[in-house]
């Protein structure tokens, strides 16, 4: 199977590249795509750069040019739910775009005509992840991820996103990647390890925990890859 693995930041895919070993590099559309065999699968790995636009470009290229049959996203996120602590893993059940606002036309926050507020991730990939978590002895949370082109470091903004979308975590790429995959008909899975709590300390916590949380997410994704299609 051809599996795409993407992150937004270099730090989110470095732990994956370290494990998969030798790979080829292809430059295209402003990204570097790394390809290799891993177990029974062909992998294409890339980091997009930050935000919804760059992540949409990368996901589209992975689907269209690299023939990805499934897309797995690995990275970090800010926690909304009080149950989520730094280093905890959350898989998205569904994703939304918290910064979409055409409410002036009577639409709800996050809604774009001919689209939907929430995009659901693949149910089979989620159940595979649940099995992996049990076998690894890891507590895997499942919930809604809200995406927007903002690094959220404010209790007020965080509370608004929680109240409006019932989101458990927030980041800057999952919602756009979900939208791309849904439109290409590619099953996708978005995994995030918590790096901060999206409040006043978010910037400091993020810098402190980016590498360690990215590693937690990457390790889990690679375990999923090994079990895919078995």
Question: Is there a contact between 100 and 209 (Cβ–Cβ < 8 Å)?
Answer: no
- Residue selected from 15, 78, 110, 175 as contacting ligand 4EH according to rule CB under 6 A: 78
Least Å distance, CB 167 to ligand 4EH, is 11
Least Å distance, CB 26 to ligand 4EH, is 23
Select from 21-29, 32-40, 74-82, 99-107 the region that touches ligand 4EH (CB under 6 A): 74-82
Q: Which residue has the tokens 């177990």?
A: 39
> Which residue's Cβ has the minimum distance to ligand 4EH?
78
Select from 37-45, 61-69, 75-83, 127-135 the region that touches ligand 4EH (CB under 6 A): 75-83
Q: Please provide the DSSP assignment of 114-174 as one string.
A: TS-S-EEPPHHHHHHHHHHHHHHT--EEEEEEEE-SS----HHHHHHHHHHH--SEEESSH
Six token digits for residue 202: 């978010």
Q: Does 77 bind ligand 4EH (CB under 6 A)?
A: yes
Q: Does 198 bind ligand 4EH (CB under 6 A)?
A: yes
Element (H, E) at 39: none
Q: Does 172 bind ligand 4EH (CB under 6 A)?
A: yes
Least Å distance, CB 57 to ligand 4EH, is 14
The C-alpha torsion from 135 through 17 and 11 to 178, rounded to 10°, is -70
Give the C-alpha separation, 132 to 220, whole Å. 8
**Which residues in the 104-133 window bind ligand 4EH by CB under 6 A?**
none
Give the C-alpha separation, 124 to 102, whole Å. 33
Give the C-alpha separation, 159 to 154, whole Å. 9
Q: Active-site residues: which are they?
A: 12, 196
Question: Is there a contact between 144 and 96 (Cβ–Cβ < 8 Å)?
Answer: yes
Cβ distance to ligand 4EH smaller for residue 42 or 99: 99
Q: Does 206 bind ligand 4EH (CB under 6 A)?
A: yes
**Which residues in the 9-28 window bind ligand 4EH by CB under 6 A?**
9
Least Å distance, CB 224 to ligand 4EH, is 20
Give the C-alpha separation, 98 to 88, whole Å. 22
Cβ distance to ligand 4EH smaller for residue 9 or 132: 9
Q: Does 84 bind ligand 4EH (CB under 6 A)?
A: no
| Contact footprint for ligand 4EH (CB under 6 A) | 8-9, 50, 76-78, 151-153, 170-173, 195-196, 198, 202, 206
């Amino acid at each position: 199977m051809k599996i795409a693995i993407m992150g937004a930041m270099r730090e989110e895919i470095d732990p994956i590249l370290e494990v998969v070993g030798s790979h080829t590099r292809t430059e295209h559309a402003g990204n570097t795509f790394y390809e290799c065999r891993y177990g029974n699968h062909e992998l294409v790995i890339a980091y997009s750069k930050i935000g919804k636009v760059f992540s949409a470009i990368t996901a589209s290229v992975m689907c269209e040019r690299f023939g990805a049959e499934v897309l797995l996203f690995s990275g970090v996120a800010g926690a909304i739910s009080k149950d989520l602590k730094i280093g905890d893993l959350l898989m998205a059940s569904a994703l939304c775009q918290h910064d979409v606002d055409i409410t002036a036309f009577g639409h709800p926050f996050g809604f774009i005509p001919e689209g939907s507020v929430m995009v659901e991730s693949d149910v089979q990939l989620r159940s595979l992840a649940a099995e992996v978590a049990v076998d690894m002895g890891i507590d895997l949370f499942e919930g809604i991820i809200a995406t927007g082109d903002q690094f959220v470091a404010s209790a007020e903004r965080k509370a608004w996103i929680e109240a409006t979308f019932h989101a458990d975590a927030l980041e800057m790429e999952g919602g756009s990647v979900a939208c791309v995959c849904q439109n290409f008909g590619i099953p996708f899975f978005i995994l995030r390890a918590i790096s901060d709590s999206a409040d006043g300390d978010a910037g400091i916590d993020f810098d402190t925990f980016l590498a360690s949380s990215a590693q937690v997410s990457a390790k889990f994704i690679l375990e999923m890859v090994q079990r895919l299609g078995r």
